[in-house]
Amino acid sequence: MRAFDDWRRLPLDAPDGPDGWKAALPFWRGKAGTLEEALGAYLRAHPFDYRAARAVLRTIEPGPEDALRLALAAMKAPATSDRGERDADQRFVDVRIARGLLPRSWRAANAALGTLDAGDLADDLARRSIGERAIEAALVDLARMATAAGNESLYAAALDELADDQSSQTSAVRAEHAAARVERPRPFHLVAGRPAPYRPRDLTWAMLGDILAAEASR
């Protein structure tokens, strides 16, 4: 793997090398984060090409779940890296998958994310020389997932890791978190200790005010 990494960094448009190396090279030379769909198609035909699969570690930007999971499967095949490195790579790709799912479903995003330590993630991203703005965006998305899931400890940890806690992204996620904490009225009430739907006669001005306030906070 180290030999391949040295080879792909050669300042040549098409360095000479083994066929397998040349097949993986385009995924390292293209713009990071734009080739996942093509990589997914390639890995369906070459499911054990971990040299190509490792290109998903170039960026922490959101990515398509199917392609990234194919890459994870390929990266687990060789026993050339230690357990800690493989776990870090797994966490890195899980974050990319979760961020890709977040706009559609916060539940799916949190399921893909699993258990994660915001401090460990921030340290790992810095070690990989991921840019500060990209790290900030990843931590903000992490805070959004934590807010949606009601995970206060993860939310606080993600914000603690942000280098610029006054940025527009940080301010936006703080506002979203504050709005999410507004207590929303229950869609039912209790009658003799059992849940029952509201009827028009059960509504009060105070209850209607709570409903309007909750809607305004969304």
For residues 66 and 40, the answer to whether their CB atoms sit within 8 Å is: yes
Q: What is the pLDDT of residue 162?
A: 83
| Distance between CA atoms of residues 186 and 174, nearest Å | 24
Number of Cβ atoms within 10 Å of the Cβ of 156: 13
One-letter amino acid at 28 equals W
Dig out the tokens for 168 from the structure. 């527009």
Are residues 66 and 82 located together in one domain of the fold? yes
Angle between helices 118-127 and 152-160 (to 10 degrees): 30
Is 53 part of a structural domain of the chain?
yes
Number of structural domains, the chain?
3
Residues 32 and 59 in one domain: yes
pLDDT in tens, 37-51: 999 999 999 999 999
The model's confidence at residue 78, banded by pLDDT at 50, 70 and 90, is: low
122 and 29 co-located in one domain: no
Assess whether 79 and 175 both reside in one domain.
no
| Within a domain: 98 | yes
- Nearest CA-CA partner of 163 in 196, 138, 199: 138
In a domain, 211, yes or no: yes
pLDDT at 215: 60
Q: Are residues 33 and 91 in the same domain?
A: yes
Q: What is the pTM of this model?
A: 0.78
Domain containing 167: what range? 115-181
Q: Output the pLDDT for position 184.
A: 57
- pLDDT, tens digit, for every residue of 135-175? 999 999 999 999 988 898 999 999 888 866 667 777 888 88
Last residue of a domain, one of 102, 134, 155: 102
Q: Give the confidence band of 211 by pLDDT, cuts at 50, 70, 90.
A: low
Q: Is residue 21 part of a domain?
A: yes
Distance CA 65, CA 20 (A): 25
- Residue after which a domain boundary falls, among 102, 126, 145: 102
Q: Is 174 found in the same domain as 190? A: no
- Regarding whether 132 and 193 lie in a shared domain, the answer is no
Structural tokens at position 121: 């993630």
The answer on pLDDT for 190 being more than 90 is no
**What confidence tens digit (pLDDT) does each residue in 86-144 have?**
889 999 999 999 999 999 999 999 999 999 999 999 999 999 999 998 999 999 999 99
Residue 63 near residue 56, CB atoms below 8 Å? yes
First to last CA, the chain: 49
Please indicate, yes or no, whether residues 135 and 216 belong to a single structural domain of this protein.
no
Q: So what's the pLDDT on residue 175?
A: 82
Residue 108 lies in a domain: no
DSSP state of 115: S
Q: Identify whether 110 is part of a domain.
A: no
Contact criterion met (CB below 8 Å) for 114 and 150: no
Q: Which residue has the higher pLDDT, 147 or 192?
A: 147
Residues 160 and 175 occupy one common structural domain: yes
Q: Number of C-alpha atoms within 13 angstroms, CB side, residue 195?
A: 3
Q: What is the pLDDT of residue 176?
A: 82
